[in-house]
Structure 1
């Protein structure tokens, strides 16, 4: 049976396909096809330093050990998603809707630029929407992003470990509270424990150094939407709006914006509200 639309869902930093566990069935209930993926270096494909597997984690070693995840490239991530898009395009006989959360915005932008004829629209969920030739690190250093809390979670020196490293196995209540406030401020303690269990520690740092490849001719012709998360502490609302403004100016057209009264992770805290917006965007 032909579905209404095909969604390809791309997770953010330190997350994996479990980000969409509550969203996929809600989209399927209203007739859409939806699928997630573990990007190379994420989820089941993630590699972590040996100290992370000790019980308890050897914090001194964990802060300095090189990351086996450091060699994952953005090109690998792009290709993995392109393969999935092509598969969905062939099976469903229609273009796909790309959805990117957080750091996943880098990947959906690149994929849309590379295969624009297979993408019907792009949806950014409090995600990095980078102007041409701007990297994630460059965007995150802007004044509009100065209040983001994520850097307070970093463990060790990223230039030496090769990773943006966090510690989901921490037993420090203050650190865990910081994780909760950064990503999951509107989750209950039980919901937070589940979300925490899905995280991996090492996000390859080199993916944040890659300039955005988008062009007006290819990426710019695809309708795009941005779902703002008003209470986001990872990417403040000011930063989200700054990205939309910058890209709209360069592309010469408008991103359609939407608002959720949520933290950085509405797929856990407000799945029904998020699925409703995704469905409404698809029907538009």
Structure 2
């Protein structure tokens, strides 16, 4: 990725950075990333990256080596930090990746052309970042699943680990995906964390930084993990510049409806560059 990033910088390129959710990695964007990279005529000059966050994908760290959400998001922050002055990126966050995008926008607002939330947790500028995670779990119609969350250490210094269960993966994440992508997901997912302990003690993101960045929410209408009703509540709670929607998309929209996701990203890149 580093060599291609250098080549992109040399051409004065702009950037699209795809940010995965919990237990996943950059691999989950393989359909979208490949389609975006081949859309040269429509995305002239854009470089597409799908980095692995810490202890995710092929990143070599263990979860115990990633004590905070900022540490977890570090690879994304490093990419933004390395962009030359004046260059901006469209950040596309999926699921927990929405909070990583929000943190990146908080720290580097001048480098974010648009923050895109694809069936993602989107925080506001009033409550701790953990609030949108906790409210989703506290919904009246929340369906218990076989996801597993447990302590990493006896003294509670590390955030609890998290892993999607087989039933939740099949029925709430990948229910509209192909059998091949379901198999891929089950094979490549890693134990991760929601970092609730850390996110609960963090201050709200600021209006001057995160709040100043242009935002687009892409609603996935058949999502069973972050249902449409809750996605739209987050938009009402923290209004955005634009709302798009994809019908027929489950939580893993980048796998179940990749062409529609690509179209949304291209439209956003054109309008918000």
> Would the TM-score normalized by the shorter structure come out above 0.5?
yes
Map 1:111-190 onto structure 2 (within 5 A): 111-135=104-128, 137-142=130-135, 145-149=139-143, 152-156=146-150, 162-166=159-163, 176-190=166-180
Structure 2 residue corresponding to 1:41, chosen from 55, 62, 67: 55
Aligned to 2:252: 265
Residues 1:152 and 1:264: Cα distance change in structure 2 (over 3 Å):
same
Q: Deviations over 1:143-199 (max 9, x none)?
A: 7844344754125468968424326xxxxxxx6333211111101222210121121
Q: Distance in 2 between matches of 1:110 and 1:133?
A: 14
TM normalised by structure 2 equals 0.80
More helix by share: 1
Q: Alpha-carbon deviation of 1:137?
A: 4.2
Count the aligned residue pairs.
Answer: 251
Aligned to 1:22: 31
Report if the CA contact (8 A) 1:182-1:233 is conserved.
yes
Report if the CA contact (8 A) 1:244-1:255 is conserved.
no
Q: Distance in 1 between matches of 2:260 and 2:188?
A: 22
Report if the CA contact (8 A) 1:134-1:211 is conserved.
no
Map 1:1-284 onto structure 2 (within 5 A): 2=11, 5-31=14-40, 32-45=46-59, 68=64, 71-87=66-82, 89-90=83-84, 94-135=87-128, 137-142=130-135, 145-149=139-143, 152-156=146-150, 162-166=159-163, 176-203=166-193, 205=195, 206-211=197-202, 213-248=204-239, 254-261=240-247, 262-284=249-271
Q: Does the residue aligned with 1:202 lie in a helix, a strand or coil?
A: coil
Q: Alpha-carbon deviation of 1:237?
A: 1.1
Residues 1:150 and 1:259: Cα distance change in structure 2 (over 3 Å):
farther
Residues 1:280 and 1:197: Cα distance change in structure 2 (over 3 Å):
same
Residues 1:95 and 1:156: Cα distance change in structure 2 (over 3 Å):
closer
Gaps of 5+ in 1: 49-66, 168-174, 249-253
Report if the CA contact (8 A) 2:94-2:118 is conserved.
yes
Q: Deviations over 1:107-126 (max 9, x none)?
A: 11111111111111110011
Report if the CA contact (8 A) 1:187-1:268 is conserved.
yes
State the superposition RMSD in angstroms.
2.8
Gaps of 5+ in 2: 1-7, 41-45
